[in-house]
Amino acid sequence: MPTYNPPLRDMQFVIHELFHATEELKACPKHADVDAETINAVLEEGGKFAAEVTFPLNITGDEEGCKLDIATHEVTTPKGFKEAYAKYVEGGWPALSCDPEFGGQGLPFLVNQCFYEMLNSANQAWTMYPGLSHGAYEALHAHGTDEQKKQYLPKLVSGEWTGTMCLTEPHCGTDLGLLRTRAEPQPDGTYRITGNKIFISAGEHDMAENIIHLVLARLPDAPQGSKGISLFAVPKYNLKPDGSMGERNGIYCGGLEHKMGIHGNATAQLVLDGAIGTLVGAPNKGLPAMFVMMNAARLGVGNQSLGLTEVAFQNALAYAKDRIQMRSLSGPKAKDKPADPIIVHPDVRKMLLTAKAYAEGGRALAVWCTLLLDKELHHADEKVRADSGEMVALLTPIVKAFLTDNGHIATNACMQVFGGHGYIKEWGMEQFVRDNRINMIYEGTNTVQSLDLMGRKVLGNNGATLKKFGKLVAQLVEEEGVNEKMAEFINPVAYLGEQVTKLTTELGFKAFQNADEVGGASVDYLRVLGHLVFGYLFARMAQVALKEIEGGNTDPFYPAKLQTARFYFARLFPETATLMRTARSGVKNLLDTDLALA
């Protein structure tokens, strides 16, 4: 059976020593009083909840799955899920980073980020139920009417109700301009919504008394394509004038998807049969409102793979220390045993360190991104808010795609450490692989994220935001460029930064001549930028570790951090050379292939 220990020490390192988050947040009036002790205490209790309440349900939830009663359209979640959610609500966890005006605790998003990493390590399928509610809360908080906020936000904040996002339809996935769900205006200002939605995570369940669905649909006079989409709030149970729940609304579960993983989460086919909804935001402006939720979800999906990378690493490491198999090539290491523990073998260490490096780099990126998000929303300086928002926009597709791709690499590597036992269900490793696989697909496939990054976030503004990130790299190089002890960490980042500038210019010129060049290069390009961001963060982490060691700190955490950084730069970072070569190879070898694909 797998185990899980919350990585609190590394979280504290990233929050307090790498980013000095509490100092940064002093410039945000809403978070000026948040101190390190509060953050640490919250995360310690959050780690206990994840490890003790939701983690024990991970394997059983996967085995049992969700059950749909065709007659009533009600879904029953796996045994223990409902009770765990009740404890989650009782503990006040849904309100952690929500607005105090609606009952929230008002803590920074970065606290919620770390808490949710632990929940995802413990049980991704369970975590998706409350996780999606945060996105619904954010969308309504940003675009809802005063009446909608009054009706829905206090219940979403308390966790009494949950939320979903209903985008995809059977005939269209990412291309939302093709959606057909229609909304008919009613004399009382509401709308009757009819259509079908699929792949709706947490779309129906028994864990909360009401579900608020955010549904994309078309008004009768809507223009074609994505410019004719509106957003509606559609509750499972309609509300009476006093806010209490009334009759069942015309939205119900017509089926559950049979999936490769995340079996404990109800991925629903939803039927809307004249369901009553209210307009969120302006008519035909549904996508900007929904993008609030979608961007939150994209950061959340990256966090899901980060959580799985961490828990897979922990279990593979424990197994590698215990499992004896063969002797070290350089001679016996455990002479009192008939064979050596497999952790002595170089390739086993390579697999373990790959997962460890991707977990620690991913954690640094995820925390940085949410700290920037906190600054975008609450910093006192308008320019800082704008710059932070711009950087979040650049990093969001990297968080979603790079972290989930890395999660795929890491969970598979950790399963490999177990050998044949990794393929057997009782060890839990194959579930981590299966659960992670969806993260590369939903909330916009990783190819879509790559197109967004290269097409919109980089070429779309002539590399202006990328240049701002480049200045951060240049600043670090200037600080440590003459420090011989930092050379092994700084030089690769400085070199790649120069190469990325050249690559971006070349690809931009090609794309100007032929837009398909973006489609041919974008996936490789995102991965190159992902490594540039990781390299920058690992160099900064090494900088902190070296200063602590030079200052006489004997905590083994710091030399361990340096060893992980050295491995990353030696074994993972060099992937960028191949990626830049393939990105430059052009789109002809992909499109001039009609005979090969006949």
CA distances from 47 to 9, 41, 163, 309, 585 (A): 12, 10, 24, 16, 46
User: Which residues, including other chains, have CB under 8 Å from residue 157's CB and lie 6 or more apart?
Assistant: 94, 95, 98, 99, 102, 103, 104, 137
Going by C-alpha positions, the residue among 10, 6, 16 that lies closest to residue 44 is 6
Mean per-residue pLDDT, 40-69:
98
Average pLDDT across the chain, whole number? 97
Strand pairing partners for 152? Answer: none
Least confident of 22-36, 98-112, 277-291, 505-519: 277-291
C-beta of residue 534 within 8 angstroms of C-beta of residue 361: yes
C-beta of residue 566 within 8 angstroms of C-beta of residue 531: no
- Ramachandran assignment for 243, one of left (phi > 0), alpha (psi -120 to 50 degrees), beta (any other): left
User: What integer pLDDT is reported at residue 99 of this predicted model?
Assistant: 95
Query: What secondary structure, in 3-state letters, does 327-387 show?
Result: CCCCCCCCCCCCCCEHHHCHHHHHHHHHHHHHHHHHHHHHHHHHHHHHHHHHCCCHHHHHH
User: Which residues, including other chains, have CB under 8 Å from residue 557's CB and lie 6 or more apart?
Assistant: 9, 13
pLDDT tens per residue, range 242-269 = 889 999 999 999 999 999 999 999 999 9
CA distances from 479 to 50, 193, 374, 375, 471 (A): 40, 58, 27, 24, 12
Mean per-residue pLDDT, 92-105:
97
Mean per-residue pLDDT, 54-73:
98
Q: Report helix, strand or coil for 229.
A: coil
Going by C-alpha positions, the residue among 358, 468, 364, 449 that lies closest to residue 412 is 358
User: What integer pLDDT is reported at residue 296 of this predicted model?
Assistant: 85
Strand pairing partners for 492? Answer: none
User: What integer pLDDT is reported at residue 272 of this predicted model?
Assistant: 98
Q: For the chain, what percent of residues have pLDDT higher than 70?
A: 100
State which H helix or E strand residue 60 sits in.
helix 58-64
Mean per-residue pLDDT, 554-580:
98
pLDDT tens per residue, range 68-86 = 999 999 999 999 999 999 9
Q: For residue 50, is pLDDT > 90?
A: yes
User: What integer pLDDT is reported at residue 293 of this predicted model?
Assistant: 77
Return the exposure string of 479-508: e unless at least 16 CB atoms fall within 10 Å of the residue's CB, then b: ebeeeeebeebbebbbebbeebeebbeebb
Q: For the chain, what percent of residues have pLDDT higher than 90?
A: 95
C-beta of residue 236 within 8 angstroms of C-beta of residue 250: no
Residues 430, 443, 480, 548: which is the catalytic one?
A: 443
Query: pLDDT class for 373, splitting at 50, 70, 90?
Result: very high
Q: For helices 382-417 and 464-480, what crossing angle results, to 10°?
A: 80
What are the sequence ranges of the domains in the chain? Answer: 8-143, 162-284, 446-586
pLDDT tens per residue, range 468-523 = 999 999 999 999 989 999 999 999 999 999 999 999 999 999 999 999 999 999 99
pLDDT tens per residue, range 271-304 = 999 999 999 999 999 988 888 878 888 999 999 9
Q: For helices 382-417 and 346-378, what crossing angle results, to 10°?
A: 160
**Global pTM?**
0.98
DSSP 429-487: HHHHHHHHHGGGTSSS-HHHHHHIIIIIIIGGGTTHHHHHHHHHHHHHHHHHTT-GGGH
Q: Report helix, strand or coil for 172.
A: strand
CATH topology of domain 8-143: Butyryl-Coa Dehydrogenase, subunit A; domain 1 (1.10.540)
User: What integer pLDDT is reported at residue 554 of this predicted model?
Assistant: 98
Q: For residue 177, is pLDDT > 90?
A: no
pLDDT tens per residue, range 396-413 = 999 999 999 999 999 999
pLDDT tens per residue, range 576-591 = 999 999 999 999 999 9
User: What integer pLDDT is reported at residue 176 of this predicted model?
Assistant: 83
443: annotated active-site residue: yes
User: What integer pLDDT is reported at residue 292 of this predicted model?
Assistant: 80
Mean per-residue pLDDT, 129-158:
95
CA distances from 391 to 114, 383, 571 (A): 20, 12, 28
Query: What secondary structure, in 3-state letters, does 8-52 show?
Result: HHHHHHHHHHHCCHHHHHCCCHHHCCCCHHHHHHHHHHHHHHHHH
Q: Which two tokens stand for residue 560?
A: 């361990």
Alpha-carbon distance 455 to 510, whole Å? 12
Alpha-carbon distance 463 to 461, whole Å? 5
CATH number at 162-284 = 2.40.110.20
Q: Report helix, strand or coil for 391.
A: helix
DSSP 103-167: T-----HHHHHHHHHHHHHHHHHHHHHHHHHHHHHHHHHHH--HHHHHHHHHHHHHTSEEEEEE-
Alpha-carbon distance 356 to 417, whole Å? 13
Q: Report helix, strand or coil for 215.
A: strand
